[in-house]
Every structure is written in C-alpha cells, then in structure tokens.
Structure 1
C-alpha cells in the first residue's frame, strides 16, 4: 500500500514538473493551444460547406455531424493529455534511454505516462466542449441524468479506446525498435474516419471499427443513443457500452505492452 502511495506522489510530482516546463515558453504554449483549436474549427467549417450543398450526410444534419465529430475530439483531447507521447516510445528504445524507466521507484508504464502531460490538448478540449454545447442548443436537446452519465461515460471510454491504440502501437517498438510510423498509418487515418458516420463506409470497414479496433464506441454508437437516431440494424443501447469496451480494450493493449516490456533488451551502449 505504501509503495502505491509513494508511486502516486512521484507520478503527480512528475506531471507537475512537465506542466511547469511547458509553461516556460508561454507564447509557444498559447499558440499550440490556438493552433489545435483552429485546426479542428477548420474541419467543422469543411463539414458545414459540404452539408450546405447536400443538407444531410446519410441522414445526419450538420449539427448532428458536428456533435459526432466533437464527441470524438473531446475524448481525443483527454487522451492526448496522458498518452500522445507514447507514439515516441521507439525513440527512447532506439537511443537506449528507456533503461532509466526500469531503475526508478515507479512502475515503468505509469512513469512513461507521467513523462509528459501535454497541455497543448487544451485547444482540442476548448473546441470540442464549445462544439458540443452549440450542438446541444441547436438540436434542442434536454438530457436527463441518465443521458449525461452516458455522455461522460463515452468520454471516459473513448479516451481509453484511443489511448489503448496508442499504447498498442508503441508496444511494437519492444519487438521492432520502430513504431511511430505506424501511428500515421493506423491511428491518424482511423481517428479521421470516425469523424463521420460509420454507416457511410463499406461493411467490412464497419466491422473492423466495431470488433477489431472499436472506434465505433468512441462516438458513433454513443451519438446515436444520445441523439436518439434510430437504425434498423443497430440497437441504440450499444451506445451505453463505451466505458466497458474502453476498459477491456485498454487492458488488452496494456497486457501487450507489458509483454513487450518483459522481453525488452537495451539498445544502448
């Protein structure tokens, strides 16, 4: 018990140090936040431009589509705070500097999480919260407590699903010493694709995002439940499963990471 308390104290101490280090360059800090926010705002404008002409996309109006998009960005913003730097794990393994995580009095996995608390994600959080709020008003939604619980559960589950995939991709570096390129091949396209309704993609791709990499539970199924969008072949109640799917998927990815850690051999001199 004392070791867990000591580890937690070290974790928060390192997170605090990471935040202070990023705040040293305040101009870059502010521009990083604004840059992320403007980037996602540009995507929202693109959606509006497309739907201005076609009105709906597979039955989704602009405000419903914006809600779907913002829901994924919101959990991604939280994910970036804790897990985004996992994509660079291969650099530590390649340089041999990963060894330091093995000799300090904190679990290597949690030590690596605490390595950087990416406050630049606040730009994504700002955009997504504003977009959700505007969508909520424009769609005339009036959620009861149960739906708000589903909403926050979705953010939690979406964070674990996206974070889990980052952890899984990084784990490959234990075997190959290189993994960051896979982020751009797998993670980035997948995250971009779920900004739109899953139903517009081929059936095989839909099943991939449901059963293999469960990004459908990041925003699509929860949005259908929260917006009460009826689908003849899909139960709305799949939308409440996001936190449970997130926990299972993250645990599986964590186990792969730990398996890689157990067979790790230093590449340093």
Structure 2
C-alpha cells in the first residue's frame, strides 16, 4: 500500500502541473453524466414512473452505478490504457521489477479529473436518499457501502479482462466498452425493466444486478424472503474479481514481448 500511495502522489503532482487544464477537465466530467441524469429526470417528468419504480428510486440506482464507475475509472485507468504499455514494449520493464504486475499497471495511470463525475454522483445519491423513506439501520448502511465497492470490483475486473486480451491482440478492443460503458448505462435502471435474458446475464455472468438492483430491494424494503441474502448479494462483485485476476495471471505467463 505504501508503494501504491507513492504512485498516487506522483500521478497527482504530475497532473497538477497544468492546473487550468485539470480543473476544466474535472468540470467537464461533472457535466457529462449530468446531461444523462437530466434526460432521466425529463423522462420521469413525462411518464411519472417506469415499471413501478419512482424517479428517486431510479436515481438511487443511477448514483450507485455511476459512483462505482467513477472510482474504477479514476483508480483502475492503468488497465484501461494497458495497450500502450504492450505496444511500446514498456510492459517488459514491469516484469523485471520485484512487485506484482497488477499493482504496477494500476499505478501506471490515474485519472483524478474523474472526481468531477464522482461529485455529481454523490449529489444525485444525496438527493435520492433525502427523498426516499428509508428506515436506515447499520445493516443497510453496510449494504450501501458494499454496493459501491462491489461495483468498483466489477468494472475493474472488466478493465482487467480487456487488458489481458492485449497480450494477444496488442491493441485494445472496443468490444470491452460494451460491458463497461454499456454495463453502466444498463445498470443505472432496475434490472426488472429489461427482458429476462438480460436480467439473467447481468446477474449470473457479469453481476451488475447484484451491485444495485437486488440489494436496493433490501434497502427500500421491497425484498421478498430473507433480507440477509439480498444484503449479501454485492459480494458477487468480489467473487467476479477472482477469475479476472486468474485470467490476468494466465496472460502474463503467456506474454511475448512485442520487440519494440
């Protein structure tokens, strides 16, 4: 962790060398998801509800997934930009250092301008929680924390899988955006508004539904059956991370230098 924090400090200092650019990008990142949220607001202004879900309930769903994505984009950007390390041959240098490659790739790039997106998500979350009649308990507070943390794990795992493909393709594949950007857009709504195959895929394969929809039912008091099971569903995000790490290690073992 000391080394990771050192990476953070170096990257932050380097990005603050151009402060005007940094703050303009941060403000821009604040307004990018704001336009999406505005579209969400106007939709509910017109139709009132969607499949029995109110505006503030969907706003809670929106805030959780965007919070998770913002954290992942900020701190896992190294995997998202991994193709540049492979293409330039710089990944070879990481292999001879006495630290794990995953830690070094994580520390190779941070996007602190994503704090603008993070702030916007926090504001939406605050507005949603103020207007929702939730009887808060310690268990529900822990569930909320698990929802965001689990979402970070899922997005980071997808970034890691996409980075692993670069060992064979050299260049990054845009197909990964289907599951990152597409997954974020899909998961900002409750899963039960989609067709059944979508619900199954994003619950048991890429468990976005375990990040917001199922635990949100518990927080809102709409869960059927044992509430503890709904509370623990975010742990699926941590379970999803395990095979992603194993796939990454497999890719590292089979890496052949580009010769750059």
TM over 0.5: yes
The residue that corresponds to 1:5 in the other structure is none
| TM-score, normalised by the number of residues in structure 2 | 0.93
The residue that corresponds to 1:18 in the other structure is 11
Distance in 2 between residues matched to 1:9 and 1:235, nearest whole Å: 41
8 Å contact from structure 1 (residues 157, 246) kept in 2: yes
Cα 1:106/1:21, change in 2 over 3 Å? same
Distance in 2 between residues matched to 1:72 and 1:177, nearest whole Å: 30
Corresponding residue SS for 2:180: helix
| TM-score, normalised by the number of residues in structure 1 | 0.90
1:166-203 per-residue CA deviation (whole Å, 9 max, x = no partner) reads 11111111122233412223322121111112112111
Where does 1:15-164 land on structure 2 (aligned, <5 Å)? 15-164=8-157
1:127-162 per-residue CA deviation (whole Å, 9 max, x = no partner) reads 111111111111133311111011111111111111
Distance in 2 between residues matched to 1:242 and 1:117, nearest whole Å: 29
After TM superposition, the structure 1 stretch with the greater mean CA deviation from structure 2, 69-78 or 170-179, is 170-179
Corresponding residue SS for 2:136: coil
Select 1:228's aligned residue among 198, 221, 228: 221
8 Å contact from structure 1 (residues 221, 236) kept in 2: no
1:236-265 per-residue CA deviation (whole Å, 9 max, x = no partner) reads 555323442122111110110110001001
Distance in 1 between residues matched to 2:10 and 2:148, nearest whole Å: 26
Unaligned runs of 5+ in 1: 1-7
Corresponding residue SS for 1:172: helix
8 Å contact from structure 1 (residues 87, 180) kept in 2: no
Alignment size in residue pairs: 260
Unaligned runs of 5+ in 2: none
